[in-house]
């Protein structure tokens, strides 16, 4: 059985539309269209019918209703090998539609505009488009549905070579449709959820989580050379993130570069004063603050001048010529900053592979979530913003803190302990950080044995050439179930400790501190990072 073939064209993106229309007409296909697409094709000289002339039902409600009609969807969904379908089509005057060229209202582009309103976003939620796409894709055995202008050349080649499309190609197009509509709907749901939260509306009582990402970057390889990898970004990724970073120079980022850069950005955002962070293998190897970002980097570098080799440096102020000259003398993978002076760029871009990233450190959010995949599932939690750690003022210790020892820590020690705990929360557990009020001197990361982590950090601090005193401060991400860590700390000259507390044997550590004239603060908040 033969019948005249129809194509329905309705696109917001007119790229390549004339070429597609010409290829369809050459195969004797009758064109149907709507609104702006109809006007475009008619002006280009094509013989095209309006959808409302076909359905007998006018476009209405400012174009909100135009393709939502049984004659459209019957023409898309009908199985032409089914006698009943064929009979019902004849009864209702339904014509089979074999080709659908549709792309959706630009919802993503709309919400990315700085001045977008909720009303603007709502009007750019496509209804008829996704419905036609889904109907067409469901009936892929007959219907060819093209939604991506990038597919136009292959589609035209199919028509020119075969007079129609092949079953395999139609299946490819159908799978792409369902990927698109899933992404599109998820983007809408995420946007609406953000608006609800901004308005302080109730939490969604829903036991499903759907997230969508775009802008795929294919990486050279993954964590290791034999692993394939890609980087996908959130559509509205925060500027203060690796996904929102702007690369000014250097070769493309690797899988490990992205993870390390993410860690560095999160650490540097802990500090309001000039700060510098060096990261290696997802852990900080040096963190420091200073009166200037240059002083902060000097201290950061001195904290561990060996581990920083081949690492990442992040600072929270513009990179100046002075700082650039220091950074240029070190082998680094990435430098992250909110800005680079022209003189600094001149110096640093001499290294063709050195990646320079701009990240807006000022844009911080308190309502974000973080997630990690596991086999067969996804873990989601609030970001550890740890409001108990003072960001701007050190005149008073946080209310959550409790001084549990006889010796009271000095104001300088309190400031130092606050600083070190900010670092400890970003170190893989068990985490021990040794230092003073303005820099780390030793970091013990990722040990199964908490005493082992302390020993690593203390030995590093003791051997640091910058160390001119036997007095150190210690921060721990976990409580002390025994007094062994305190005993070891005292042997290395630790004068004050900060730790969560919460062990049934807290008293043992407190007594050990009192016997040795040490101060201890318990925060009541743990900072495990597995």
Instruction: Write down the pLDDT at residue 466.
Output: 72
What one-character DSSP code corresponds to residue 466? T
Per-residue pLDDT at 205 exceeds 70:
no
The pLDDT-based confidence of 394 (bands split at 50, 70, 90) is: low
| Phi and psi angles of residue 334, each rounded to the nearest 5 degrees, phi first | -145, 145
Per-residue pLDDT at 93 exceeds 80:
no
Opening angle at CA 282, ends 277 and 286, nearest 5: 30
Percent of the chain with pLDDT over 90: 53
pLDDT, average across residues 375-396? 72
pLDDT, average across residues 274-290? 95
Residues 6+ apart with CB under 8 A from 263: 279, 282, 283, 284, 426
Per-residue pLDDT at 189 exceeds 90:
no
Residues 6+ apart with CB under 8 A from 190: 211, 212, 235
Please tell me whether residue 323 adopts helix, strand or coil conformation. Answer: helix
Residue labelled with tokens 């082992």: 452
Do 390-522 and 6-192 fall under one CATH topology?
A: no
Instruction: Write down the pLDDT at residue 364.
Output: 64
pLDDT, average across residues 511-521? 95
Which residues does the annotation mark as catalytic? 138, 281
pLDDT, average across residues 490-498? 94
Per-residue pLDDT at 89 exceeds 90:
no
pLDDT, tens only, 122-136:
888 888 888 889 999
* CA pair distance 523, 404, nearest whole angstrom: 10
Element (H, E) at 476: strand 472-476
* CA pair distance 254, 259, nearest whole angstrom: 9
**Rg from Cα positions in the chain:** 31
Beta strand 311-315 with 275-280: parallel, antiparallel or unpaired? antiparallel
How do the domains of the chain map onto residue ranges? 6-192, 247-358, 390-522
Q: If 0-12 CB within 10 Å is exposed, 13-18 middle and 19+ buried, where does residue 67 land? A: buried
Lowest mean pLDDT across 162-166, 391-395, 447-451, 498-502: 391-395
The pLDDT-based confidence of 391 (bands split at 50, 70, 90) is: low
pLDDT, average across residues 454-472? 82
DSSP structure string for 349-409: TTSTT-EEEE--TT---SS-EEEEEETTEEEEEE----TTS-SS--SS--TT-EE-SSSPP
Per-residue pLDDT at 390 exceeds 70:
no
pLDDT, tens only, 207-255:
777 788 887 889 999 999 899 999 988 888 888 889 889 999 999 999 9
* CA pair distance 521, 425, nearest whole angstrom: 16
Per-residue pLDDT at 449 exceeds 90:
no
272, 329, 512 from 364: Cα distances, Å: 12, 32, 40
What one-character DSSP code corresponds to residue 213? E
pLDDT, average across residues 164-193? 91
Lowest mean pLDDT across 155-164, 324-333, 395-404: 395-404
6, 33, 70, 132, 436 from 94: Cα distances, Å: 11, 16, 8, 15, 80
Instruction: Decide which of 304 and 192 is more confident.
Output: 304
**428 within 8 A of 530, measured Cβ to Cβ:** yes
Q: Domain 6-192: give its CATH architecture.
A: 3-Layer(aba) Sandwich (3.40)
The pLDDT-based confidence of 470 (bands split at 50, 70, 90) is: low
Q: Which CATH class is domain 390-522?
A: alpha beta
CA of residue 37 relative to chain centroid, distance? 36
CATH topology of domain 247-358: Cytidine Deaminase; domain 2 (3.40.140)
The pLDDT-based confidence of 1 (bands split at 50, 70, 90) is: very low
**421 within 8 A of 434, measured Cβ to Cβ:** no
Instruction: Decide which of 65 and 249 is more confident.
Output: 249
* CA pair distance 93, 54, nearest whole angstrom: 9
């Amino acid at each position: 059985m033969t019948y005249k073939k129809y194509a329905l064209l309705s696109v917001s993106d007119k790229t390549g539309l004339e070429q597609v229309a010409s290829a369809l007409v050459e195969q004797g296909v009758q064109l149907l269209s709507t609104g702006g697409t109809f006007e475009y094709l008619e002006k280009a000289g094509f013989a095209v019918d309006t959808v409302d002339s076909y359905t007998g039902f006018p476009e209405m409600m400012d174009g909100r209703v135009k393709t939502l009609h049984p004659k459209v969807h019957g023409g898309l969904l009908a199985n032409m090998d089914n006698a009943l379908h064929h009979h019902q089509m004849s009864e209702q005057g339904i014509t089979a539609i074999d080709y659908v060229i549709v792309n959706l209202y630009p919802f993503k582009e709309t919400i990315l505009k700085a001045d977008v309103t909720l009303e603007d976003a709502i009007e750019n939620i496509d209804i008829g488009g996704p419905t036609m796409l889904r109907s067409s894709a469901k009936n892929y055995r007959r219907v060819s549905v093209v939604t991506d202008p990038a597919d136009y050349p292959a589609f035209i080649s199919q028509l020119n070579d075969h007079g129609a499309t092949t079953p395999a190609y139609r299946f490819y197009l159908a799978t792409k449709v369902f990927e698109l509509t899933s992404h599109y709907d998820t983007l809408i749901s995420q946007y609406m959820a953000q608006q609800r939260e901004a308005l302080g509306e109730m939490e969604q009582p829903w036991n499903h989580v759907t997230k969508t990402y775009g802008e795929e970057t294919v990486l050279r390889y993954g964590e290791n050379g034999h692993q394939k990898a890609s980087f996908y970004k959130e559509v509205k990724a925060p500027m203060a993130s690796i996904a929102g970073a702007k690369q000014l120079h250097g070769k493309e980022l690797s899988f490990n570069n992205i993870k390390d850069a993410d860690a560095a950005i999160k650490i540097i955002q802990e500090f309001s004063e000039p700060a510098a962070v060096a990261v290696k293998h997802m852990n900080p190897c040096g963190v420091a603050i200073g009166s200037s970002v240059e002083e902060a980097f000097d201290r950061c570098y001195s904290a561990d001048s060996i581990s920083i080799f081949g690492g990442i440096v992040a600072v929270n102020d513009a990179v100046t010529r002075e700082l650039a000259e220091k950074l240029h003398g070190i082998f680094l993978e990435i430098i992250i900053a909110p800005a680079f002076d022209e003189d600094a760029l001149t110096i640093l871009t001499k290294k063709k592979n050195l990646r320079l990233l701009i990240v807006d450190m000022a844009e911080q959010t308190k309502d974000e979530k973080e997630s990690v995949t596991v086999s067969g599932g996804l873990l989601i939690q609030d970001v550890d913003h740890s409001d108990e750690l003072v960001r701007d003022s050190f005149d008073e210790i946080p209310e959550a803190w409790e001084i549990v020892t006889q010796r009271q820590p000095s104001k300088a020690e309190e400031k130092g302990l606050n600083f070190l705990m900010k670092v400890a929360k970003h170190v893989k557990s068990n985490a021990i950080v040794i230092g003073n009020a303005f820099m780390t001197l030793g970091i013990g990361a990722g040990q199964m044995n908490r005493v082992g982590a302390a020993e690593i950090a203390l030995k590093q601090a003791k051997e640091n050439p910058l160390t001119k005193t036997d007095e150190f401060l210690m921060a721990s991400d976990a409580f002390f179930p025994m007094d062994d860590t305190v005993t070891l700390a005292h042997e290395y000259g630790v004068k004050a400790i900060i730790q969560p507390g919460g062990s049934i044997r807290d008293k043992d550590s407190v007594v050990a501190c009192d016997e040795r004239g040490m101060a201890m603060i318990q925060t009541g908040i743990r900072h495990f990072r597995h």
